[in-house]
Structure 1
Amino acid sequence: MTGRHAARHARVTFLGTSSGAPTLTRGLPSLVLRRGPELLLFDCGEGTQLQFRKAGLRPGRLSRVFISHLHGDHVLGLPGFLMSLQLGGRATPLEIHGPPGIAALIQAVLRLVEAHIGYELRIFEHGAAETVARGDGYEIECRPLDHRAFCLGYALIEAPVPGTLDVARARALGVPDGPLMGRLKRGEAVTLSSGTIVVPAQVVAPARRGLRVAYCTDTRPSDEAVVLARDADLLIHEATFAHDRAEDAHAKGHCTAHEAAEIAVRAGARQLALTHISPRYRDPAPLLSDAQALFPNTVIAADLMALEVSA
């Protein structure tokens, strides 16, 4: 994580927001996080590639895919998407991150349908909490959640943005233009020809925090989700059921909207987006009410809805 291009801004586009099965208004789980020109795909249920195009996203800018777990509603859109990328002439490598078994699943399906993928697939399996990928100014961290199947939550974490150098203040302290200015901006103390030592805190503003976005589905209430969402600018969390069905939710490895709000409060998140909505809820208003009673800055995600997120 170099921090050279900490964007401090991203756009999250929800491609599918249902759970288990699609409805006429909600597709299977998938979303894209756009940071600068780069697109990151989180989960890939059936229909993802069509939604990708409806959202006006450019497949050539997709660099990494992150799969939460191997239940069909989160992964069965991936083989077809990979084949379409091949048909579109993709030549650059594509990273795919997911739980143990993701490589075997992809390879088996592509083999059985006799698909030829000419670009490089770089598949990484993760079985524990770790940093799974690093980009220009950010890293992606994963942690195991609490579902019926082994499931990973993810967080995009940007590097802090270095503070600006107060050139006028530095000159007033006797720092000449040139290399010493650069050293101060890099966080190094400098010694002037007079013997005076100038430290960065005297002339450089404090670093600004980078962006943080957490993605947690599928899961029961989980302490690991709290860790991923700590001080997040946006927490995207499953809310399969309303709180009156908490027992059913837990038996199936899921959360209620109220419990997602509890995670947001515990984590100190700034905004909560609820997704993975059970098809039983044609009107998700009860879920939104459950969550907003505890965490007012909550929205219910809808297919093709985009959220602008800033640090």
Structure 2
Amino acid sequence: MKLTFLGTGSGVPAKHRNVSSLALHIDDKEGSVWLFDCGEATQHQILHTSLKPRKITKIFITHLHGDHIFGLPGLLSSRSFQGGEAPLTVYGPKGIGDFIETSLRVSMTHVKYPLNIEEFDEEGLFCDEKDFRIEGKKLVHGIPSYGFRIVQKDMPGALLMDKVKENLIPSGPHLQSLKEGKQVTLADGRIVDGKDFIGPPKKGKVVTVLGDTRYNETSIELGLAADVLIHEATFGAKDEMLAKDYFHSTTIQAAKVAKEAGASQLLLNHISARYQKEEVNMLLDEAREVFPNTIVVNDFDVITIR
């Protein structure tokens, strides 16, 4: 899996940072993409990447502030014009349905694909599929804001070829059946069980995406042992009171969440436009004092989830 950051700024667009949106590329046969937030001009940002709107199958909205949703109507419309036919589901707090439906109705926009809207105002399991489980919990912000924990379910272990050769099992299509854990009857009459030739399951990855929030314990719960934790850092350490007043977090607070959660990597986004390019290094240094494996992401950064 990998992440493409389409907007890493807060509040209003800036020349070097657009407002919030990031894409999670899923390792499946369809090359599906899940979008998290969709601020103004997200579809313009997509034009500078290899991402195809028709590949977006899920959009998760953390909260209903404009810098996280104003790009939705345009993207949903363009996806239809650009040949998107696969169903798309938008998950978001209560009210996202009214926003989407009103925007499309007033602009007389008719999408050609099935558009599903799943609203929530409670915490819990939002989506449970074959390979992934997505949980959501409410954070601490001026309006209901959620964080998402995306858990990739454990994957089957690899076929142990050394053991296959040791047991004189010849090559052929039956190896795929063994890999799937099925019983196979060989040409010499032996019956072998695939479960005996498969290694231990591969642990799935965990990605945590947090919406706007003050420092809080729920963020730590969502980020427990995450491979990647994406946390807003709207303000630097010296502006801690501003962060509190506006229900946001500082660099150091985000780093504390990552440290206490035992995350592997911290990615900081939602950076205030008050911090120009030369000041971003200061923000990074602050966070790394608490949590060394930190990156302040920029628009169009692509991060592979190791």
Superposition TM-score tier, normalisation by shorter sequence: 0.7 to 0.9
Q: 1:235 aligns with which of 218, 229, 233?
A: 229
Aligned to 1:46: 40
Change in CA separation of 1:284 and 1:111 when aligned onto 2, cut-off 3 Å: same
- Alpha-carbon distance, 1:207 to partner: 2.5
Shift of 1:115: 1.6
SS at match of 1:153: strand
Does structure 1 retain, via aligned residues, the 8 Å contact 2:32–2:55?
yes
Q: Once the 2 structures are TM-superposed, how far is the Cα of residue 295 of structure 1 from its aligned partner?
A: 0.5
CA contact (8 A) 2:54 2:85 kept: no
Tell me, yes or no, if structure 1 residue 32 matches structure 2 residue 23.
yes
Alignment partners' CA distance in 2, 1:274 and 1:168: 43
The correspondence for 1:304, drawn from 278, 288, 300, is 300
Quick check: 2:181–2:198 contact (8 Å CA) kept in 1?
no
* Pairwise CA distance, 1:163: 3.2
Equivalence for 2:67: 73
Distance 2:198 2:50 in 1: 41
Gaps of 5+ in 2: 168-173, 183-192
Q: How far apart in 2 are the matches of 1:121 and 1:184?
A: 37
Is 1:294 aligned to residue 290 of structure 2?
Answer: yes
Counterparts of 1:38-117 in structure 2, within 5 Å, are 38-117=32-111
Q: Which range moves more in the overlay, 163-172 or 294-303? A: 163-172
The letter for the 2-side match of 1:113 is S
What residue number does 2:170 align with? Answer: none
For the residues of structure 1 that align with 2:243 and 2:7, how far apart are their CA atoms? Answer: 20
- The 1:106–1:230 alpha-carbon spacing in structure 2 relative to 1, beyond 3 Å, is same
RMSD of Structure 2 on Structure 1 (CA):
2.8
| Whole-angstrom distance in 2 between the partners of 1:119 and 1:76 | 21
Change (3 A) 1:260 1:167: same
- The residue correspondences of 1:153-302 to structure 2 (distance < 5 A) are 153-164=147-158, 166=160, 205-282=199-276, 283-302=279-298
User: Whose relative contact order is higher, 1 or 2, with alpha carbons under 8 Å and at least 6 apart?
Assistant: 1
Whole-angstrom distance in 2 between the partners of 1:106 and 1:26: 25
Residue equivalent to 1:176 = none
| 1:15 and 2:6 aligned | yes
Q: CA deviation at 1:169?
A: 5.9
CA drift at 1:294: 0.6
User: Contact conserved, 1:164 with 1:185, CA < 8 A, in 2?
Assistant: no
Report if aligned partners of 2:54, 2:83 keep a CA contact under 8 Å in 1: no
Deviation per CA, 1:50-73: give whole Å up to 9, x if none.
111211211111110000000000
- Whether the 8 Å contact between 1:217 and 1:276 is mirrored in structure 2 is no
| Residue-pair matches, total | 290
Instruction: Give TM-score scaled by structure 2 length.
Output: 0.86
Distance in structure 1 (CA, Å) of the matches to 2:178 and 2:49: 44
For residues 23 and 167 of structure 1, the distance between their equivalents in structure 2, rounded to whole angstroms, comes to 54
The separation in 1 between residues aligned to 2:164 and 2:50, in whole angstroms, is 47
Structure 1: segments with no counterpart, 5+ residues: 1-9, 174-178, 188-197
Q: Percent same amino acid at aligned positions?
A: 36
Aligned equivalents of 1:267 and 1:186: distance in 2? 35
TM-score, with normalisation over the residues of structure 1? 0.84
